[in-house]
């Protein structure tokens, strides 16, 4: 039964999600976890256990019958808590009919609720272990999720004395029994687990007496004292020469004793030695682990990027399991470039290492896992490196899955199409970038043209009688009349159009039906409102507000363009305290326009119609009134102050205005400084030309040729006739038009109001429309869309590959628009099919590749003719093998602009890694390593990307980014290994030694870059390396920006190879001087509890 959580518990969970948990809420949650909760636990079988937190040891315990502890998990090893009912443990039991029969449950009863099921991921290796639990109520599940995450964070932040006490409790609770005492016999058995031997039984007895034990039994306090005596046995105390206020504060925190709080804290000898070995005294300067937001504003190519190879694998390259959890693990470790090897599946794409026995996972499951975990560790962009082996059919499926899963996280457009450099990590926060092959411009070329649906159109012969003769053997796919949308005038104009050789050609606007004799004078009247958004509704609202506020009289009106019909209008009239709407019809015969409310009485212009009904009654459809007052247009400019005239505008500003209007024929007239002089500025073939106008004998003289009584007459003349070449004064550049286009720039990023690729200046001479051709659109380079807009049921839009509108058209008859659309669609689909057959790349996949276009070139030609959007891939030995003629400077220069990825060569079937340092040194951003392999090269990778907050992006040194900068000078560093604490053991007492290396080796002598301590027999708890056999070592650091110090603790004997027990690797740039602790990690770079070295570090001046 699933219960609703109590209100107070809901508040607790909500507070935790906001990071605002109060101390009282925390205490109640922890108390609940300590009491324990009965849950269903899914392991080899499903069983009910009491799940309980043991605070003394910071462990989660599964308790069976008779209070027997069956299993414990260290909270220190918890990595993730996931509320997930579809996890494999739940799935396995859901699908098991045997399980249902055993427990007598129906299938419905077995299905877990996602809010009550959760999984604990824990461990210290690449592939984590999991424990899946199903609580009886949402309330219990939420408390456990909140409480465990809280304890996990507190454990990570715990100070060393707290960790020691927890560790001692775990040792005392022998066989998972909560005992508060330990006998001498039990202690003898415990010492091997503590990784130490003692001289003899008498040694223990003496220590028992020293700590005040009775009857050879220690309570916890006595056991702690015994540990202190044991840990400091034979250790020497070094002088600590620090005396700062910050040290006093640190000492107070470290002591953690309210009874000893003072302004002058003092350490005991034991506390001082514990501090030296603690993480609070770490060799690593934590300021280098902090993220620097200002360093995230460089181009992407200026960073080293944490990258994975064959991310889906959990082991070797031949037989290991593929898993979505491998993607989760890599992303949570800070990896920012992950690989997906895509192959055709039976029904959908799959991921696996092709041609091997590795298992397969569904592509869909992988991208879902990536989407869930991509930005938990780091908010900076993730690159999906797709190795494509699918056919184009399944590539289209992949593309759709990427869109469906990632949605707006998926980057599909460049941030700045004109940029010469990549955007920065800050600009790409939260984005998924696809690395894949992209269809190049050369692949779009189709010299033969499209043959689909082509036919000779006899009807087009009549058109050529008027417009000229087409070139011989020209194949026409479609011809006729289209209404093309003019974004400047915000209306459709009719054009003769032809589709031929995959191009759409269109003529000048047709003038047969153009209104004559002043039929467009209404455009300059204050009662004409043009096209109104939500026409009828807006007109009603405006008239209602206008008339109601002024006690409006019947007959108050406005005229607007019809929402539904081209060249038709609507008049809205206030009558009887409401608004009535009527259609004003327009027709044309022999080039003469007619306007009418009823066919009985026609007028040559809209102005004549309005003037008539101001003098005479409207007797129509129940109306019986005169037109009286009118609602004036907002920002109306009177006829003698037309918007194209400017009394105070410079020539430079005039050019700026005209360049904003991407149409030849855009014009304005401005007043010059000299009296009675003006200037006509016109856009002609993309260039702004200026013509002088002056007044002489009461007339306006243009270019010393044309004379007019008014400027309006001049404009009206050349709006009808050609002014220069094929150009008329078509687009008056008014302040309102400039403002509107500026707003469209900002709001729609379509500021060019259609690309100029089809302007007159670029029309070929041998086009099928001859000299009347105004423009051409290359359909083969377009996308097409169709929808209802501009008051039309169907409008076809052609867009370029950047989704910028090129042209929009429709027809008077719906069926004709469909025919044109199908012809265009057939051309585009035919081109796509040819490109896909040629390149084996689906257009849908190609279109979503922006900044990581995979390019295949030979090494010696790869660094020629590149741009910032390309990515080159190299095997790890490409730069070092014989025959490589590329100079390092060329590679560095390339990597300043573009990206490169280096991956393991093919024979590394064991998933071994290559040394990434040579690649990093050449500026290669992505050295893709096998994260599942715990080797020295992964230690280097973890060390490098511990910088900058573990974001997965590390800014390369300045000399790599700027060729004018010099490398930093060489350094020297002296290291001495002194002692160790709490080294891990493998079921026996170890004999450890420490190896220290400076990586990478930059010289021939290995001894110059490494040294070892002596073996120390049978002591992994507190070994000490002192004396002349363990002298300090001085390393010369040639390149401080890319140098690492690696501490490797191994166990060895005379009969076997050394076994690595622990390691710690740090960039040299962040190492602190003095007596320092080296917190140790395991081979998977996971922290080891309490394990550390004590070393002395000295930076030596060169």
Task: Give the residue numbers marked as catalytic.
Answer: 309, 353
The residue with tokens 């006998």 is 183
- Cβ atoms of 758 and 775 closer than 8 Å: yes
Of 290, 341, 332, nearest in space to 311 by CA: 341
Q: Distances in Å between the alpha carbon of 660 and those of 256, 490, 669, 738, 753? A: 70, 16, 16, 7, 9
DSSP class per residue in 727-789? B---EE--HHHHHHHHHHHHHHS-TTSS-GGGSGGG--TT-TTGGGEEEEEEGGG-EEEEEEE
How far is it, in rounded angstroms, from Cα 463 to Cα 403?
A: 46
Paired residues of 120 in beta bridges? 81, 131
Q: What is the number of other CB atoms lying within 10 angstroms of the CB of residue 167?
A: 18
- Distance from CA of residue 437 to its chain's centroid? 19
How far is it, in rounded angstroms, from Cα 682 to Cα 666?
A: 6
Q: 322 — alpha (psi -120 to 50), left (phi > 0) or beta?
A: beta
Q: What is the number of other CB atoms lying within 10 angstroms of the CB of residue 436?
A: 24
The residue with tokens 């081109």 is 831
DSSP class per residue in 676-704? TEEEEEEEETTEEEEEEEEEETTEEEETT
H-helix segments, 198-310: 201-210, 220-231, 245-255, 269-277
- Cβ atoms of 886 and 859 closer than 8 Å: yes
> In this structure, what token pair is assigned to residue 61?
């315990």
Instruction: Write the burial class of residue 865 (CB in 10 Å: 0-12 exposed, 13-18 middle, 19+ buried).
Output: exposed
Which backbone phi and psi does 4 adopt, to 5 degrees? Answer: -75, 140
- Using the 8-state DSSP alphabet, how is residue 566 labeled? T
Of 177, 52, 170, 71, nearest in space to 130 by CA: 71
H/E stretch holding 430: none
How far is it, in rounded angstroms, from Cα 390 to Cα 842?
A: 10
Handedness of CA 125, 329, 1090, 933 (dihedral sign): positive
H/E stretch holding 569: strand 569-575
Give the full edge-to-edge strand order of the sheet including 569-575. Answer: 556-561, 569-575, 578-589, 592-596
Q: 790 — alpha (psi -120 to 50), left (phi > 0) or beta?
A: left
> In this structure, what token pair is assigned to residue 922?
């050449």
H-helix segments, 38-178: 88-94, 97-103, 107-110, 138-157, 160-172
Instruction: Write the burial class of residue 954 (CB in 10 Å: 0-12 exposed, 13-18 middle, 19+ buried).
Output: buried
Which backbone phi and psi does 651 adopt, to 5 degrees? Answer: -65, -40
Q: Distances in Å between the alpha carbon of 393 and those of 389, 397, 839, 841, 848? A: 11, 7, 13, 10, 16
H-helix segments, 468-597: 535-549
- Cβ atoms of 740 and 753 closer than 8 Å: no
> In this structure, what token pair is assigned to residue 858?
């030979």
């Amino acid at each position: 039964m699933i219960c609703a959580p109590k209100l107070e518990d809901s508040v607790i969970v909500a507070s935790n999600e906001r990071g605002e948990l109060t101390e009282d809420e925390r205490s109640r949650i922890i108390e609940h976890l300590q009491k324990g909760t009965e849950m269903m636990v899914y392991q080899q079988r499903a069983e009910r256990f009491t799940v309980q937190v043991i605070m003394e040891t910071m462990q989660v315990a599964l308790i069976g019958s008779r209070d027997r502890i069956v299993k414990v998990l260290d909270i220190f090893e918890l990595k993730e808590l996931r509320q997930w009912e579809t996890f494999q443990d739940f799935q396995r039991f859901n699908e098991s009919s045997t399980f249902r029969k055993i427990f007598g449950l129906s299938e419905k009863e077995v299905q877990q609720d996602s809010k009550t099921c959760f999984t604990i991921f824990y461990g210290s290796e690449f592939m984590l272990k999991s424990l899946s639990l199903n609580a009886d109520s949402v309330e219990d599940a939420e408390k456990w999720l909140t409480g465990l995450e809280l304890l996990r964070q507190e454990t990570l932040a715990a100070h060393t004395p707290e960790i020691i006490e927890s560790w001692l409790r775990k040792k005392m609770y022998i066989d998972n029994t909560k005992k508060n005492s330990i006998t001498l016999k039990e202690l003898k058995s415990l010492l091997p687990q503590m990784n130490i031997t003692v001289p003899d039984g008498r040694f223990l007895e003496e220590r028992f007496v020293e700590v005040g034990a009775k009857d050879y039994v220690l309570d916890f306090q006595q056991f702690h004292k015994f540990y202190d005596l044991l840990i400091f046995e034979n250790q020497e105390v070094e002088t600590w020469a620090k005396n700062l206020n910050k040290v006093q504060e640190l000492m107070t925190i470290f002591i953690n004793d309210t009874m000893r709080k003072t302004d002058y804290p003092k350490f005991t000898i034991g506390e001082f030695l514990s501090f030296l070995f603690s993480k609070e005294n770490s060799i690593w300067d934590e300021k280098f682990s902090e993220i620097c937001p200002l360093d995230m504003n460089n181009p992407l190519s200026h960073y080293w990027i944490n990258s994975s190879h064959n991310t889906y694998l959990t082991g070797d390259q031949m037989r290991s399991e593929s898993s979505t959890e491998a993607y989760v693990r890599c992303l949570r470790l800070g990896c920012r470039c992950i690989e997906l090897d895509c192959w055709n599946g039976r029904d959908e794409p799959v991921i696996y290492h092709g041609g091997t026995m590795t298992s397969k996972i569904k592509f869909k499951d992988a991208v879902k896992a990536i989407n869930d975990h991509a930005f938990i560790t780091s908010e900076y962009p993730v690159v999906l490196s797709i190795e494509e082996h699918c056919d184009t059919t399944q590539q289209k499926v992949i593309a759709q899955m990427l869109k469906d899963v990632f949605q707006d996280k998926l980057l599909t457009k460049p941030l700045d199409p004109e940029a010469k450099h990549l955007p920065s990590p800050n600009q790409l926060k939260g984005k998924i970038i696809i690395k894949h092959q992209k269809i190049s411009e050369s692949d779009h070329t189709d010299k033969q043209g499209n043959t689909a649906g082509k036919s000779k159109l006899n009807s087009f012969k009549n058109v050529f009688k008027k417009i000229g003769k087409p070139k011989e053997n020209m194949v026409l796919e479609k011809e006729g009349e289209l209404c093309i949308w003019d974004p400047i005038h915000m209306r459709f104009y009719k054009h003769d159009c032809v589709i031929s050789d995959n191009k759409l050609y269109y003529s000048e606007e047709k003038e047969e039906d153009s209104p004559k004799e002043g039929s467009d004078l209404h455009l300059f009247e204050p009662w004409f409102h043009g096209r109104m958004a939500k026409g009828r509704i807006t007109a009603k609202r405006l008239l209602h507000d206008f008339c109601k506020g002024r006690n409006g009289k019947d007959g108050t009106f406005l005229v607007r363009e019809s929402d539904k019909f081209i060249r038709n209008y609507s008049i809205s009239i206030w009558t009887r305290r409401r608004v009535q709407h009527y259609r004003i019809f327009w027709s044309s015969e022999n080039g003469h326009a007619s306007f009418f409310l009823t066919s009985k009485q026609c007028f040559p212009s809209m102005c004549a119609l309005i003037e008539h009904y101001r003098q005479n009654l409207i007797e129509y459809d129940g109306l019986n009134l005169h037109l009286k007052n009118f609602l004036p247009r907002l920002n109306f400019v009177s006829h003698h102050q037309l918007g194209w005239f400017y009394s105070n505008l410079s020539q430079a500003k005039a050019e700026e205005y005209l360049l904003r209007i991407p149409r030849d024929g855009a014009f304005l007239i401005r007043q010059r400084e000299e009296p009675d002089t003006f200037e006509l500025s016109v856009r002609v073939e993309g260039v702004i030309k200026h013509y002088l106008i002056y007044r002489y004998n009461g007339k306006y003289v243009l270019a010393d040729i044309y004379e007019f009584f008014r400027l309006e007459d001049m404009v009206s003349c050349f709006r009808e006739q050609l002014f220069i070449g094929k150009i008329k004064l078509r687009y008056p550049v008014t302040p309102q038009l400039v403002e509107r286009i500026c707003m469209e720039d900002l709001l729609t990023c379509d500021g060019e109001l259609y690309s100029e690729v089809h302007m007159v200046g670029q029309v070929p001479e041998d086009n099928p429309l001859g000299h009347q051709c105004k423009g051409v659109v290359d359909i083969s380079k377009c996308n097409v869309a169709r929808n209802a807009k501009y008051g039309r049921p169907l409008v076809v839009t052609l867009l370029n590959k950047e989704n910028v509108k090129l042209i929009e058209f429709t027809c008077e008859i719906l069926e004709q628009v469909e025919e044109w659309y199908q012809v265009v669609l057939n051309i585009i689909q035919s081109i796509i099919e040819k490109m896909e057959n040629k390149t084996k790349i689906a257009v849908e996949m190609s279109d979503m590749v922006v900044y990581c276009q995979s390019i295949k070139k030979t090494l010696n030609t790869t660094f020629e003719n590149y741009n910032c959007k390309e990515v080159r891939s190299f095997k790890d030995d490409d730069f070092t093998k014989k025959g490589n003629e590329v100079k390092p400077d060329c590679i560095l220069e390339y990597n300043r602009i573009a990206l490169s990825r280096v991956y393991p060569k093919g024979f590394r079937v064991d998933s071994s890694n290559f040394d990434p340092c040579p690649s990093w040194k050449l500026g290669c951003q992505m050295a893709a390593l096998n994260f599942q392999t715990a080797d020295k090269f992964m230690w280097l990778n973890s060390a490098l990307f511990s910088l900058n907050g573990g974001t997965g992006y590390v800014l390369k040194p300045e000399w790599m980014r700027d060729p004018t900068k010099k490398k930093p000078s060489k350094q020297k560093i002296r290291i001495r290994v002194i002692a160790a604490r709490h080294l891990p053991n493998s079921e026996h007492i170890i004999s450890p030694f420490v190896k220290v290396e400076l990586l990478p080796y930059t010289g021939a002598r290995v001894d110059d870059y490494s040294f070892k301590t002596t073996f120390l027999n049978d002591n992994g708890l507190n070994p000490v390396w002192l004396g002349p056999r363990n002298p300090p070592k001085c390393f010369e650091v040639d390149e401080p920006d890319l140098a690492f110090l690696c501490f490797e603790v191994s166990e060895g004997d005379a009969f076997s190879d050394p076994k690595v027990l622990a390691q710690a690797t740090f960039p040299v740039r962040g190492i602190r001087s003095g007596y320092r602790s080296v917190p140790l990690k395991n081979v998977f770079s996971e922290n080891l509890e309490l394990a550390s070295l004590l070393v002395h570090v000295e930076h030596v001046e060169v």
